[in-house]
Amino acid sequence: MTTPHFPSRLPNVGTTIFTVMSALAAEHQAVNLGQGFPDFHCDPQLIDAVTRAMQAGHNQYPPMAGVPALRQAVASKIEALHARQYCPNAEITITAGATQAILTAILACVQPGDEVIVLEPCYDSYVPNIALAGGVVVRVPLTPGSFRPDFAKIAAAITPRTRLLIINTPHNPSATVWTADDMRTLEELLAPTDVLLISDEVYEHMVFDGAEHQSAARFAGLAERAFIVSSFGKTFHVTGWKVGTVAAPAAMTAEFRKVHQFNVFTVNTPMQYGLADYLQNPAPYLQLPAFYQAKRDLFRQGLEGSRLKLLPSTGSYFQCVDISAVSDLNEADFCQWLTREIGVAAIPLSAFYGDGFDQRVVRFCFAKKDETLRAAIERLRTL
């Protein structure tokens, strides 16, 4: 039997670095601070809420756009936090995680040949998503070292063919957070254009040291052109549930749902009902900054005095470190060596750049039990 040959839609895509490093960590029984997922349980009350939904018979298809009670809860949450009203019927969609949301938004608005600006380093799904839509990727680097947006470079990258810009704050992998001034500058920059925006805000509730998350929803000139993406998986420690949200103006949502109904149609029913119930109490997400800041501080304090240079971590659940004083290896080789010889897995930042730009920085995830972090610290302090 001969399998017919066909050209790949993603010829340059292989196994992701996250899969590679997690497999290597398992092989060497390393502490896995590579892939960004918690190793602790979610709130039992959330499990109970989903269980009640299943027992109540919520096990068939829900509406394509999502369970109305959950869309209303999301709209209410956005209004309470960011003072912007979204119509739950026409402007909120429940998605199969944030990755599906981003792909769907790109497929909905990017035509073959349209340019899409990504700010590097960036999450690894963005570029393949653009390729699947037939778009042209335009890479603009964040400022090396600080990972701040360079608005002069962003402005220079905008052409008449630019359809879309993707931003991510709090940022994966660098753990930086855009300020209100950053968002206002972006608002002014985009004002005279027809460029659309995807604002990837999956770490919205992980902003530290008393700072506030500056959602695109807070800025009228951004909200009117933005798909704002969030993730219940990240917020409530249930990454395997793959449930996310998109808020967007009605006309943009209508186009988004045209694609959504044919690439996933709808999302796990009992989990939607359970999340709608659980969201009635805002405490779990309002307490999240303090929860993760304590883990960040535990990890940072444990590495103080080591030869790993800690970069700022102002948001997300990541900590980047400069390895220059530890090793002459490049980032990817260092992460392999660190996993095999020291027993801790990390991710090279070069994996988040199209050209593999290497600045001697690797990323750790601190969304782990305290005992996991302490085990990692003990090993890392031997460097």
Indicate if the pLDDT at residue 1 is higher than 80: no
Indicate if the pLDDT at residue 160 is higher than 90: yes
Same domain assignment for residues 223 and 292: no
- CATH code (residue 341): 3.90.1150.10
pLDDT tens digits for range 102-142: 999 999 999 999 999 999 999 999 999 999 999 999 999 99
State the residue range of the domain holding 323: 17-42+286-380
* pLDDT level of residue 35 (50, 70, 90 thresholds): confident
Indicate if the pLDDT at residue 36 is higher than 90: no
Contact criterion met (CB below 8 Å) for 174 and 142: yes
Same domain assignment for residues 82 and 199: yes
> In this predicted structure, what is the pLDDT of residue 13?
87
Torsion of CA 219, 123, 317, 46, to 10 degrees: 80
Nearest-CA neighbor of 336 among 16, 11, 34? Answer: 34
Q: What average pLDDT does the segment 196-210 reach?
A: 98
Look over the chain and give the mean of its residue pLDDT values, rounded to a whole number: 97
How many domains would you assign to the chain? 2
Same domain assignment for residues 25 and 50: no
Same domain assignment for residues 34 and 100: no
- Spatial distance between the Cα atoms of 349 and 122, rounded to a whole number of angstroms: 9
Same domain assignment for residues 53 and 34: no
Quick check: is 7 in a domain?
no
* pLDDT level of residue 274 (50, 70, 90 thresholds): very high
pLDDT tens digits for range 305-353: 899 999 999 999 999 999 999 999 999 999 999 999 999 999 999 999 9
Same domain assignment for residues 77 and 157: yes
pLDDT tens digits for range 223-256: 999 999 999 999 999 999 999 999 999 999 999 9
Same domain assignment for residues 77 and 223: yes
Contact criterion met (CB below 8 Å) for 163 and 110: yes
- CATH code (residue 158): 3.40.640.10
Same domain assignment for residues 250 and 167: yes
* pLDDT level of residue 159 (50, 70, 90 thresholds): very high
Give the global pTM.
Answer: 0.97
> Which of 13-27, 71-85, 259-273, 323-337 has the weakest average pLDDT?
13-27
